[in-house]
Structure 1
Amino acid sequence: MAWHPEIQTVSVGGYNYALLDRGAGDEAVVLIHGITTYSFIWRKILPLLPTSKRVIALDLLGCGGSDMPLDVGYSLSEHAERLVPLLQQLGVRRAHLVGHDVGGGVGQILAVRYPEILIDLCLINSVAYDYWPVQPITTLRIPLFRHFVMSTLDIGAFRMVIRRGLYHKDRLDPELLELFSEPVSTSLGRKAFLHFARCLDNRNLTSIAGELRKLHIPVLLIRGEADVYLSEEISLRLKREIPGCRLLRIPTAGHFIQEDEPELVTAALISFWQGDVVAGAVG
């Protein structure tokens, strides 16, 4: 499965990772998706990013076009640790890390454990602390619902989950629905998705809460104000506790903010990377 013609496969630690790796330059931008998506979620942002930077949009293990082993853990901590050798193999020494949803949790862990490889960190509608997992992910831990997901893919229910995550409801067209649903259209894909949901443990992030207060890298938070899945308190607490952290609120965006307002998100990212004041962001 490849949503983009430039998707390639890189083997690390015995597993194949699907990723888009384009551009050049000393500074890399690494984009990490959330649990219900994969690298396609950056599709509207990628064309807007500066060509002066190398950009890497990857699929986490168990997601998208990457391998989907069911005998390894998919916790955020384990994902973070696997990304270190992947970035090393790709020749990435330091990166602007951008994480969405649980990808933001992976970013927090990397920032605490491996700050030397991060230039800065942007968290977009990110999980944090103990305010997650949330519906509908927690529902997947109930045996009855796991059986339902394994036995059939209810496109109607899936469409509802996506639609609730968008501010601009008309953005949910057949193409977007297909991109979301393709990885879970197979039995293995559904098993991997459920495995990911079972592995989520907020202790991965509560255990580093104290370390977040000691971060010395620039951090930008971007929140879609219409995010129905993740609480506003996540962004507010991160802003209070991370030194120098700034918060940009986008009223016309939901959880899948990359689909709702790609231009606003990209403009904020570019300003942030340049060290400029991000318009509308508060400290």
Structure 2
Amino acid sequence: MFTDPSTSDRHATAADGARIGFDSVGTGEPLVLLAGQANSRRWWDPVRADFSSSHTTIAPDWLGTGASDSPRDAEWSTRRFARDVIAVLDELGVERAHVYGTSMGGRVAQWLAIDHPHRVGALVLGCTSGGGDGTVASESDVIPGLSRDDSRETLADLMVGPHWRQSHPGQLSVLGDPCMSGHARRAHRRASTWHDAWAMLPYISAPTLVLHGTADRLTPSANGTLLAERIPGATLRLLTRARHAYFLESREDSGSTVLEFLAAHPLKRAD
């Protein structure tokens, strides 16, 4: 039986000495929640309780976000971020955990399953891509739109649709950590853009669920299809009309799908 080690902020130490902030909430089998590019663990705030009711949710802050350090001379890559997650698990004494990564967090989750297969139970990859030859680029107007003065509004529109925003007033949790430095933001963008695990994806042995919104213009849903085809035995679930932050727009549907998948692959079961 897994129990919640702590509900307060903690830090792990990465291989290069950087401090990685994280917290742990809930009870049950451990579930690592990995946020998107340039976001801290606050990314998960609106839906975290859905998982903490049945799992010990462990949410790290990426390098440069939240309570983590932001060293200028560090390695910034999705593969390095995966090693930082391992440092968090080591700090907690967790030998094996389920992993749910979205957007850039899904790219990091791929490296966790590739480089540290014995530490990963079930794997959930949301609104993400495998990189390299397995990437379907966003539409030509999407990335330039994020460089305009109204980029925050543009990003919000890519994350969720207008009807959802009207019924959920207030600040979106998925628009980036406002305390990040410019250097850290650029480093995150490079890490996510240069991610390439495509050649290694067939070596993933963890039971894998791929989730993607069909109306995702930031990371088109074809990326989810390619991931599911590339990872042996992966299950694909497309969420109709959901945008990049499908876990907000289709909270009930996606949340129940993830929980059912995790329940079907308990950590205690021998693989």
| Paired letter, 1:19 | F
Quote the residue 1:205 is aligned against. 197
Assess, with a 3 A threshold, how the Cα gap between structure 1 residues 138 and 96 changes in structure 2: closer, same or farther: same
Structure 2 residue corresponding to 1:160, chosen from 130, 154, 158 = 154
State the Cα deviation string for residues 188-225 of structure 1 (Å, max 9, x = none). Answer: 5232111221344535323xx2x322332210001111
Q: Residues 232, 133 of structure 1: CA spacing in aligned structure 2 closer, same or farther, 3 A cutoff?
A: closer
* RMSD (CA atoms): 2.8
- Give the deviation of 1:126 after TM superposition: 1.1
What is the distance in 1 between the residues matched to 2:204 and 2:193?
A: 22
| Correspondent of 1:194 among 186, 202, 205 | 186
Counterparts of 1:35-50 in structure 2, within 5 Å, are 35-49=37-51
User: Is 2:117–2:206's contact at 8 Å kept on the other side of the alignment?
Assistant: yes
User: Which amino acid in structure 2 is aligned with residue 100 of structure 1?
Assistant: T
SS state of the match for residue 69, structure 1? coil
TM-score normalised by structure 1 residue count: 0.79
2:97 corresponds, among 82, 95, 98, to 95
Any conservation in 2 of the 1:97–1:122 contact (CA below 8 Å)?
yes
Paired with 1:192 and 1:137, the residues of 2 have a C-alpha distance of 22
Compared CA separation, residues 64 and 121, structure 1 to 2 (3 A): same
List aligned pairs for 1:50-61, cutoff 5 A: 51-61=53-63
- Report if aligned partners of 2:129, 2:219 keep a CA contact under 8 Å in 1: yes
Q: How does 1:117-196 map to 2 (within 5 A)?
A: 117-130=119-132, 131=135, 154=149, 156-171=150-165, 175-177=170-172, 179-180=173-174, 183-184=177-178, 186=179, 189-196=181-188
Q: Is the 8 A contact 1:105 1:128 kept in 2?
A: yes
Given the alignment of the two structures, is residue 231 of structure 1 paired with residue 220 of structure 2, yes or no? yes
- Structure 1's unaligned 5+ residue stretches are 1-5, 149-153, 277-283
Partner of 1:19: 22
Q: CA deviation at 1:108?
A: 0.7
Partners of 1:34 and 1:136 lie apart in 2 by 21
Equivalents in 1 of 2:24, 2:220: separation in Å? 32
Aligned length: 253
2:238 to 231, 246, 249: 249
Q: What whole-Å deviation, never above 9, does each CA across 1:75-94 have from its counterpart, x for those lacking one? A: 11111122212211111111
- State the partner residue of 1:151: none
Listed one character per residue, the Cα deviations across residues 99-148 of structure 1 (whole Å, up to 9, x for unaligned) are 000111111111111110011100011121322775799669xxxx6xx9
Q: How many percent identity over aligned positions?
A: 24
Counterparts of 2:11 and 2:44, CA distance in 1? 19
C-alpha distance 38-203 of structure 1, shift in aligned 2 (>3 A): closer
Unmatched 5+ residue regions in structure 2?
1-6, 266-271
Give the match's secondary structure for 1:183.
Answer: coil
Q: Equivalent of 2:84, from 77, 82, 85?
A: 82
| SS of 1:221 mapped into structure 2 | strand
AA aligned opposite 2:171 = L
Distance (Å, rounded) in 2 between the aligned partners of 1:175 and 1:41:
14
Note the alpha carbon deviations across 1:223-260, whole angstroms, 9 max, x for none: 11110011222111112121211111111311011221
